[in-house]
Structure formats: C-alpha cells, structure tokens
Structure 1
Amino acid sequence: MSPTDVAPATTRRVVFPFTAIVGQEEMKLALLLNVIDPLIGGVMIMGDRGTGKSTTIRALADLLPEIDVVAGDPFNSHPSDPDLMSDEVRQQAQQQGSFPTAKKKVTMVDLPLGATEDRVCGTIDIEKALSEGVKAFEPGLLAKANRGILYVDEVNLLDDHLVDVLLDSAASGWNTVEREGISIRHPARFVLVGSGNPEEGELRPQLLDRFGMHAEIRTVKEPALRVEIVEQRTAFDQNPHPFLEKYSSQQEAWQQKLVSAQELLPSVTIDYELRVKISQVCSELDVDGLRGDIVTNRAAKAIAALEGRTEVTLDDIRRVITLCLRHRLRKDPLESIDSGYKVEKVFSRVFGLELSSEDNSTSQANGVRQGVR
C-alpha cells in the first residue's frame, strides 16, 4: 500500500457514498422521505438477496448532517426540544437552563437477530439500586438509536416479541424498562428500517402494517447496468478515498437538500380535495384503520419538501401512494395480481387518470411472477 492510500486521521468507517448507488430508486426515495419526516413510521424493504439493501441504508446514515446533542448524554438528547430529552436532562434544563452541547453524526444501529430483550431495551442494576438507592441503568440499543436509524436485517426472522418491542418504541417514541418495581424510561425516536427476503418467510400482517412504507426491490436485469454497479463497487473497494472525493460535492449538495427539506416541511400544505381522494383510495382498497391515510399525507408532504415546494401536487401523491399502501391490503393467496398494481389501478380511477400501458404490463408481470412463487 502506498502512502497515499493510508486512511486519513479519522476513526469513522469508510462508507460507500449514497449518491453513487445505481438504481433501486423506490428504496432510496422511501428512506429519504423517512429522514425528512421520521413520523412517517419507517420502511420495510423486501427483495432479492444481494441487491444492496444494507449498503444503501449505511450510505444514507453517512449522508445525514450532524446533529446537536447534550454532551455526555447516552440517549443523544436534544439540547432544546423537551420531546427529545431524557427525563434527567429535562430536569437539569429546568434547574440550570443550559448545558454543554456537542455535534454528533447520526447513529445507525444494526440490530442482530440473536439480540436479547435486555440488550435491546437496556437493563437496570437491581443490586446497585437496592444498596445505593440510585437508578443504575445500562442503556441498550434503543437508547443508542435515539434520533438515528435502527436497522433490522432479515426482520422476518426476528423473534416476534422483539419486533413488538421495536414497533411499540417506534410508535410511542419512548422506551420503558421495568424491573422489580423500578421503572426507567428514555426517548427512543428513530427511523425503523427493516429488510428481508420474502422467500425466507413473511412478516405478520399486523406487524407489517406498523411500518410506514414498504419498498420492493428486484435484482437489476439490464447487463450494462449490472456492469456499471460492479465497476462502481470494485473502484470503491480498491481505492475508497479517491472514490469518495469524486462524489463529495454531490454528497454535500444532497445533505443540504435534506436540511432544507426538514426546515420546509412544516410549511407544506395539501389541498382538502386531494386529502379526500387519498382517503377514498384507502376506503376502496378496504385498508384497515387510518394509518394508510396518515402516512400517505405525510409522505406526499415530505416529497414536496424534498423538491423545495410548499404545496403537494397530484404527482407527489402518485409517487408515494403505492409505497404507503401496498402492504396494508388484505392478501388473497389465490390472487396473482400484484398489490402494487391494485393500488395504482384504484388511484388512477379515483383521481381520474389513465394507467399507462407500460405501468399496466409491468405491474401485471410482477403480479404473475409473485403469484407463481
């Protein structure tokens, strides 16, 4: 290795740049929208093995701008937002008014399949609590993931009880640990990203519904595109730092775009007529509950903010509605038509649009392929 190949003085791991990832637009869009508005509720990514799911999620975490945290706080508490502070930090804020802050990269936590509940939620040292009268808490992965990304690969193989814990924390934004009459809670606001291969088992429908969006990815078929992906990966593996330098300006531009979108999001509005039609689509598809309506509205606003607009358009809804609803439809095991095609068909009818022949044939082909499996 030549001196120029030596990594710079940093402890950060070298990550493949997000802007260099070729294809998989559906997955990338779903992830970006959840970063802009974490209340969308996370992403479930289902697809073939070796399609870059883990690479894309790590690349996204590396792309995100640094966040302000309370220095030395294990929960990444926000210095000024009470909803993102631990109880201890909030009490200090009320008494002292301010405390030292620090900048920190957004954390991406990988949840291993064999993790125990104590490792995920954290543990209370009962002996110390009884002998010294203090709440001695050892934070878990949920504490580390607060204000970051929690990634569960092969989520369909994860123990159902742990999935319940994750989804409850993601929905409430808090993790509560109770042992022997002692109760401790801390903020756990994170973007939950799950991935899996449908051939290895399906997720329970009631759990699948708790993910805000559902992206399906397929292996790239075009030979020229496959060659481009292989060459990109080879160039990065052989000499990562020049490769990163090549994409640094694009990375910075996207980082600024995400910051601007987060700031613009509260100003984005969606016309009442469009909201009514979104709910009409959900009603005609027989989607249980109102989660589908809420997520579609949020995702449409997020995509408008991403593109620097303050008003949601019909095209914004068209681009996100399948991602938000396809996994909420009731499954008929004998039906060969793809659920994404059903969403597109009802959307086009409700909004008075024609489903393009290309979309029609592609969606039906996907449906037949899935029905054969």
Structure 2
Amino acid sequence: MNHAPTQNAQPLYPFAALVGQDQMKLALIINVVNPRVGGVLIRGEKGTAKSTAVRALAELMPQQKAVADCPYACDPRDAAAMCAACRARLSAGQELPVATRRVRVVELPVGATEDRLLGSLDMESAIGEGQTRFQPGILAAANRQILYVDEVNLLDDHLVDALLDAAAMGVNTVERESISVSHPSRFTLVGTMNPEEGELRPQLTDRFGLCVQVGGLSDPAQRVAVIANRLAFEKDPARFVKAHAAAGRAIARAIAAARRLLPKVQAGPEILDRVVQLTLGLGVDGHRGDLTLLKCAMTMAALDGRRAVLRSDVDAAALLALPHRLRRRPLAEMDFDIAARIRRI
C-alpha cells in the first residue's frame, strides 16, 4: 500500500519531523487507530504545531475504498454502516462503483451555520412535490475522514453539541417539521483551542474522549531542532519530506497493524478494576471517563502489538483520558500533571 505524500502544490510538513509534543502525537494516533475513543481536544497557544500535526497525520493514513458516487464515501465492504441509498442499491442487486482514496482532513470553519454543518432539507420540494431533497453538509463530507475543528471554543455551543452527538452516535440526523433524514457520520474528531481566548463549557469538554495540553518547548536542544527543521523544510520541501519518509512509513505501518489487532485485544477483570480504581481515586464523575479510559488503554496495547491490556496501559491512558474530567473550580486550569497522583492510587 502506498503511503507516499500526496502530490500537493506545497508538500505538507511531515508528522515524523515534529519535535516533542509526544502526548499530542500519541493522542492523535490513538484516535485514528480507534475513532471510538471519541476524539481529542488539543489545548495550547498558537504556534505549537497543533494544526500542522493534524494535517500531517492524514498523509500517513492507509488509503480507503469508498463508493465512488456516494456523498458519504460509504465503505463498499460494510453494508451495516452504509447510507440508505447505498444499501438500497445493494439490495436491488446493483454493483456499487468503487474508488480508492486518501483520508482527508475536513475542516469546520468557526463561522459555519447549522445548515452548513448538518446539511439542509428543501422543505418546498418536500411539501409541494412529495420528494425529500437533502443538501449534505460538513458532517456528510466528514464520514470516514478526520474532522478538524480549529478554535472549537469559539463555536456556538449548539454547533459543538451537534458535532459531538454525531461523533458519539456515528449518525447525523436532520429534522425539519415532520421530515427526517439520517446518514452515516463516523469520523475522527480533532478540536483545537487556545485557552486564552475562552474555555469550553465543562459539559462539552467532557465529551471529547481525550484531552492534551501543549505549549512551547522548554528544552533548548528541542527548540534548536524545531528551528533547524523548519528552515530545512522551507529551503527544500521535497528533500525534507523525502528525508523523513521512512519514519513516516513506519508510523503508517504501526497504525495499520494496530487497527488489525485492536478487535482481538482483551482486558481482564484486573484491568477493569484498575480503571475504576483510577476514576474513583481521581474523583471523576459519571461513567464516560471509565469507558474512554478502557478504550484508550486497549488501543495503546494494540499499538504496542499486544492482545492483552496491562496495568501500565491503563495508567498511561489516564494521562490522556482523565485530566479534563477531574473536579475543578470554575475557570481553573485543568490538572494535566497527574502522574504522581496515579502512582499513589
């Protein structure tokens, strides 16, 4: 399978060339291996490679087969996850046209309207002609892709609610009057934000599976490496991309292998006990944190090539799945430095 960079007018900065920000890179990889983890919220000031990492990771994703003329890019091998139109064509004995495509990064603009996000129904046609005409939105284009929401904290809350609902259910439903249209909307959700520009409501933050805090690198050698890499990329992008191609292919192979292994990963009773021990010990409310923590730990085991989850997987996953779920004072900073507390539990 070819994982070479897409032929763009300007090559993208390689994921493998990103210096530091290990938790952010791990959280992104976990979510493309297992979108059921529920997405990742990346918090940090501008200039910390948030958007660069998202776009670069898409270049390493395995190509996917899709129904060529379907607006939702349905998987031709998965009838259960298809849209109603593709299922009807299959039931009628039609052969679906298949295309092989790269995974795309679909961006949600801050100024997007509800119709632009969800799609819109032509009510005049529905009432006058008895035909339901649906104009797909961003959630349709995002099916089986990466949905990237920059400055998610600046979106209207009802739009954030809608995209989080679609991320959780894997389906987008648009209802107007007595008419309803649904379509598959399974995507890897990545939200980025600068906390200095305002926080998300805690109820919304909690619905992101993972959350990481990124900042400027404090290690002098790493900062020098960032400058040197950027200058080398600007001087000769094609050569720089080629120099990091082997490392990128290794990451791509790890993602593909983890996806294949993930369904076989098992978590024993002692692992479930450790999950609950951590969530209770850290004061996490509700059960979403327990489930996300377990899914994250299972994905980390798959990335490590194992079929059994270890206690160390759970403890490492807690650093990604729990900081934004800890009880805190309103507007207080999230506690991302919880490693010592985890060791004491």
Which one-letter code corresponds to 2:343 in the other structure?
S
**What is the match of residue 167 of structure 1?**
164
Cα distance change of structure 1 residues 121 and 9 upon mapping to structure 2, 3 Å threshold: closer
In structure 2, the partner of 1:4 is none
Mapped to 1, the partners of 2:58 and 2:201 lie a distance apart of 28
Match of 1:41 in 2: 38
Residue 173 (structure 2) aligns with: 176
Shift of 1:324: 0.5
1:230 paired residue number: 227
RMSD: 2.0
Looking at structure 1, the residues matched to 281 and 7 of structure 2 have their Cα atoms a distance apart, in angstroms, of 54
- Closer, same or farther in 2 for the Cα pair 1:97/1:187, shift >3 Å? same
- State the AA in 1 paired with 2:113: T
**Structure 2 counterpart of 1:151, from 128, 131, 148:** 148
Asked whether the equivalents of residues 274 and 314 of structure 2 are also in contact (C-alpha less than 8 Å), the reply is: no
Q: State the match for 1:363 in structure 2.
A: none
- Confirm whether residue 63 of structure 1 aligns to residue 60 of structure 2: yes
Which of 92-101 and 213-222 deviates more?
92-101
Cα-to-partner distance string for 1:256-281 (whole Å, 9 max, x where unaligned): 21111000001111221121121021
Alignment CA distance shift 1:10-1:278 (3 Å)? closer
| Residue 275 (structure 2) aligns with | 278
Unaligned runs of 5+ in 2: none
Report Cα offsets for 1:120-146 as digits up to 9, x if no partner.
111122334445443222111111111
**Post-superposition shift, 1:180?**
3.8
Distance 1:297 1:42 in 2: 14
Which of residues 324, 327, 336 is equivalent to 1:330?
Answer: 327
Query: What is the Cα deviation at residue 328 of structure 1?
Result: 0.5
Question: Which residue, out of 118, 123, 127, partners 2:120?
Answer: 123
Quick check: 1:84–1:189 contact (8 Å CA) kept in 2?
no
Q: Secondary structure at the match of 2:59?
A: helix
Q: 1:302 to 1:97 in 2, by over 3 A?
A: farther
CA 1:273/1:61 → structure 2, altered by over 3 Å: closer, same or farther? same
Cα distance per residue 1:327-361 (max 9 Å; x no partner): 0011125988x6234x43442123xxxxxxxxxxx
Equivalent-residue separation in structure 1 for 2:85 and 2:282 (angstroms) = 46
Matched residue of 2:211: which SS?
strand
User: What SS is found at the alignment partner of 1:348?
Assistant: helix
Instruction: Work out the CA distance in 1 between the residues paired with 2:8 and 2:17.
Output: 22
From the superposition, tell whether residues 131 and 11 of structure 1 become closer, same or farther in structure 2 (CA, over 3 Å): farther
- Where do residues 57-96 of structure 1 align in structure 2 (5 Å cutoff)? 57-96=54-93
TM-score w.r.t. length of structure 1 = 0.86
8 Å CA contact 2:43, 2:194 repeated in 1: yes
Gaps of 5+ in 1: 1-7, 351-373
Q: Which amino acid aligns with 2:244?
A: Y
Matched to 1:254, the amino acid is I
SS in structure 2 of the partner of residue 138 of structure 1 = strand
1:163-312 alignment, distance < 5 Å? 163-312=160-309
The structure richer in helix per residue is 1
Relative distance call for 1:213 and 1:334 in structure 2 (3 A) is: closer
TM-score, scaled to structure 2: 0.93
Q: Assess, with a 3 A threshold, how the Cα gap between structure 1 residues 172 and 28 changes in structure 2: closer, same or farther.
A: same
Task: Write out the 4+ residue segments of structure 1 that deviate beyond 6 Å after TM superposition.
Answer: none
Letter in 2 for 1:215: V
Q: Give the Cα–Cα distance (whole angstroms) in 2 for the partners of residues 345 and 47 of structure 1.
A: 23
Deviation at 1:79, TM superposition (A): 0.6
1:41·1:191 contact (CA, 8 Å) conserved in 2? yes
Change (3 A) 1:40 1:163: same
Q: For residues 278-316 of structure 1, give each alpha carbon's deviation from its aligned partner in whole angstroms, at most 9, with x where no partner exists.
A: 102111222111111111111111111111111112222
Residue 16 of structure 1 is aligned with which of 13, 21, 40? 13
Q: Deviations over 1:157-187 (max 9, x none)?
A: 1111111111111111111112243221110
Distance 1:10 1:38 in 2: 27
Q: Which amino acid aligns with 2:151?
A: E
Larger Cα-atom Rg: 1
Secondary structure of 2:203's aligned partner: helix
Aligned residue identity for 2:170: G
Same amino acid, percent of matched pairs: 46
Correspondence for 2:339 among 344, 347, 355? 344
Paired residues, number: 341
Q: CA deviation at 1:247?
A: 1.6
CA distance in 1, matches of 2:304, 2:258: 8
